[in-house]
Amino acid sequence: MSVRPAALVLADGSVFHGEAIGADAPGGISAGEVVFNTTLTGYQEVLSDPSYAGQVVTFTYPHIGNYGTTPDDDEAAAPFCRGVIVRDLARRRSNWRSTEDLDGWLRRHGLAGVAGVDTRRLTRHIRDAGAMPGAFGTAPVEALAEAAAAEPGTAGVDLVALVTSDAPYVVGSGPRRVVAYDFGIKQTILDHLATIATVEVVPASTPAADVLARNPDGVFLSNGPGDPAAVTGAPQTIRALLGEVPVFGICLGHQLLATALGGATFKLPFGHHGGNHPVRRLADGTVEITSQNHNFAVVEDSVPGAEVTHRNLNDGTIEGLAVRELRAFSVQHHPEAGPGPHDAAYLFDEFAALMDANRPDPNGKGTN
């Protein structure tokens, strides 16, 4: 296969050269907000996570694609990210589960990328200057620079509307009934929820009254992309659910729960993206290694009446909230992993216990 020279140009004019991989972008240009992810494995799960909508993912690990891809590891039916930047794309795949190489997976999904980039230099630049728009492809550098300057990024953009489901659907057959709001939900989250409940996934715009009419034991607020302040109507919907039914939120769901409670959010300089972020559980001081993927965080002391349950040990940001009297809690990190460690998987059991404590006694004596 012939080499196709390509480049990445950031909005500040920085240029990184490499070679094109994956699909051919229209006009030789793809654009989005450029971020970096520090995970060592799980590139397919990262690229297929709807939370990366609007973003170009740079992997800090130098060798990507060595174990190929498999449909079993897709987090959504198709990726919503804008592209991928890597140092070295593996020339061959080597894993018994693999059905396709990464380059073929990218081509099949119409996703472009650039390999051969000095990702260490790029990561250091983003770390120092912050995540920013960029454009990449086989077009001339001047054209890429214009596209980078025109790219709006993710702040103030309702990306949830691009990734949410069109209609409700059901997964699992567990003993409890959960309604899960799809703000960009991952398959691995559904796999975890399905072990504790029968889960009806509903579009992000579903009114609270429609959810309560389903008589759920609990409501789940999913992960998703972009700026929580741009997700129109979600805080008002969540506010109507609080106190009526137990609520559990992850990532964007955590931010939206905080917003519904009167809190505020802010954009992090370069976000948290990776599978090795230390988080302290304040109840007992335990440190959990967590999977993370978000660009926004909850403003300190902005959520009236909420207890901070977890903290990020890298920068001190809020990683968990709980309002006991409303039977609501949330975390900023990803307890389902996919990819990443499973230190926080116990949170799904805590959600199950919270729902069970709220369910009617089968003997007709009120709540358990």
Q: Per residue in 56-89, pLDDT tens?
A: 999 999 999 999 999 999 999 999 999 999 999 9
Place of tokens 């990190």: 333
Q: What integer best gives the mean pLDDT of the chain?
A: 96
A 10 A CB-CB count for 78 gives 12
CA dist 192 and 170 (Å) reads 14
pTM listed for this prediction: 0.95
Helix axes of 252-260 and 234-241: crossing angle, nearest 10 degrees: 70
Confidence of residue 366 (pLDDT cuts 50, 70, 90): very low
Domains in the chain: boundaries:
5-150, 160-358
Give yes or no for a contact between 119 and 58, defined as CB atoms under 8 angstroms apart: yes
pLDDT at position 367 over 60: no
In this prediction, residue 160 carries a pLDDT of 97
User: What are 293's strand-pairing partners?
Assistant: 273
pLDDT at position 363 over 90: no
Q: What is the CATH number of domain 160-358?
A: 3.40.50.880
Q: Which CATH class is domain 5-150?
A: alpha beta
148-170 pLDDT per residue, tens: 999 998 989 999 999 999 999 99
pLDDT at position 362 over 70: no
Average of per-residue pLDDT across 320-325: 97
**φ, ψ (nearest 5 deg) of residue 20:** -70, 140
Residues with active-site annotation: 251, 334, 336
Peptide bond into 339 cis (omega under 30): yes
Give yes or no for a contact between 197 and 176, defined as CB atoms under 8 angstroms apart: yes
